[in-house]
Amino acid sequence: MATAIHQGRTSAGAGLKRLVLVGAPNVGKSALFGRLTGIYAVVSNYPGTSVEVTRGRVSAGGTQVEVMDTPGMYGMLSVTEEERVARRVAVGGERQTIIHVVDAGHLERSLPLTLQLLSLGCPLVLACNLLDEARSVRRAPNLDLLTERLGVPVVGTVATTGEGTADLMATALAAESPRDGWALPEPFRALVAPLADGDGRLAAELALSGDPEAEPALCADQPERWAAAVAERDRRWGSAEGFAVAVATARRRMALALLDGAVPAGALDSASHANGRWIDRLVLSPWTGFLLVALVLYFGFYKFVGGFAAGTAVDWIDRVVFGRYLTPAASAVTRALIPWAAVRELITGPYGLISLGVRYAVAIVLPIVGVSDVLES
């Protein structure tokens, strides 16, 4: 089956192997890219977009290797333009190996995407980065057990120090297509199977999830089967969104089952995680969530930013710091050192650089922007 997300595949070139780094933001992809490629890199926009991708070439074991660093993405069901570009790169090459970079200490967040990448059928390596941080909190996974369960190589890395990067490069160059051991469970598999097989199953799943790139092509290729699948999907899950949520939930359960015994005992169910789940329920509940948002908006922004920063802090800096001390001192210095009235007026006059420009920037803008940044961080 040809669908939009599989069209336009390009070869990496004769004799040129391509490694594509894929993963969520803040897992160290760019640092790992730097370790694999050295200092040589070319940054360019993906064709037709303003999204940047980074490419580098190295020679490894006599083989010319192109390494690509893609924008961060959380799943193959793309939401942002960055995620769509990352997906197009991941599915768009014939001579490439995908390196899925994940946070070794929080594998449960990333393995659902790993399971999606497995269904593409291309060589795949799981790079458990930030391994030093995982060790420090006793959450380092059993890499050999994960390799056995996933059916693809799993390599531990620390991009900041270079640990494991040479092994990652060698493993990626020798990687082969994975075995099909993580197909969707029933009843999702029964719904997708009539529409596609092989690596086309992911495209069919995305189309049924409402993906705007996959859905039109599948509808045009198999209109009758597509109509029947949509009717069954809506009967069971209500809509494309309901189907997408159900599939994501199923994959998360699969990821947790895969991690059972592969991470230190209690790491996934520790007291801190129990507290985290309690906080999640509190924040995500429609009953308490709206109340918390209202409290944050009132006390955080209206009272703290609007009352304290824009009121108390601005008034004190303007009236006391500048009004009593800085502006009079600056005026005295300019009168003593500068004989030209026009220059003194420019610096400390009513509309001068210090009395107006610096005063407004520091007394009015700085407190509001500074407090806002504190809240955002």
Element of type H or E holding 124: strand 124-129
pLDDT value at position 182? 62
Q: What's the CATH code of the domain at 106?
A: 3.40.50.300
Q: Are residues 149 and 33 in the same domain?
A: yes
Give how many domains the chain has, as a whole number: 3
Q: Among residues 215, 234, 267, which one ends one of the domains?
A: 267
Query: 19 and 127 in contact (C-beta within 8 Å)?
Result: no
CA-to-CA distance for 338 and 331, rounded, in angstroms? 10
Determine the structural domain holding residue 313 and report its residue range.
Answer: 287-376
Residue 10: predicted pLDDT:
47
At residue 47, the pLDDT reads 73
Cβ 100 vs Cβ 139: under 8 Å: no
Per-residue pLDDT, 276: 57
**Ranges of residues in the chain whose predicted pLDDT is under 70:** 1-15, 39-45, 93, 180-183, 198-199, 266-277, 280, 375-377
**Domain-located, residue 277:** no
149 and 15 in one domain? yes
Shared domain check, 120 and 72: yes
CA 288, 291, 295, 301 dihedral sign is positive
Distance, in Å, from the CA atom of 171 to the CA atom of 125, rounded to the nearest integer, reads 8
22 and 170 in a single domain? The answer is yes
Report the C-alpha gap between 192 and 246 in whole angstroms: 14
- Write down the residue that tokens 């020679």 correspond to: 59
**204 and 65 both lie in a single domain:** no
The answer to whether position 310 is within a domain reads yes
pTM tops 0.75: no
Sheet holding 96-103, edge to edge: 42-45, 52-60, 63-69, 16-22, 96-103, 124-129, 154-156
Q: What angle do CA 29, 31, 32 make, to 5 degrees?
A: 65
- Spatial distance between the Cα atoms of 211 and 73, rounded to a whole number of angstroms: 15
- In this structure, the strands spanning 52-60 and 63-69 are antiparallel
Q: Are residues 108 and 167 in the same domain?
A: yes
**Do both 115 and 243 map to the same domain?**
no
In a domain, 325, yes or no: yes
Is 307 a member of any domain?
yes
DSSP state of 106: G
Instruction: Say how many residues make up the chain.
Output: 377
Q: Are 246 and 237 contacting, i.e. CB atoms less than 8 angstroms apart?
A: yes
Asked if residue 82 and residue 110 are part of one domain, the reply reads yes
Same domain (yes/no): 119, 24: yes
CA angle in degrees (0–180, nearest 5) for 63-68-72: 150
Same domain? 258 vs 218? yes
Point out the domain boundary residue: 174, 209, 228: 174
Has residue 280 been placed in a domain?
no
Closest CA to 202 of 129, 48, 98: 98
Which of 150, 174, 198 finishes a domain?
174
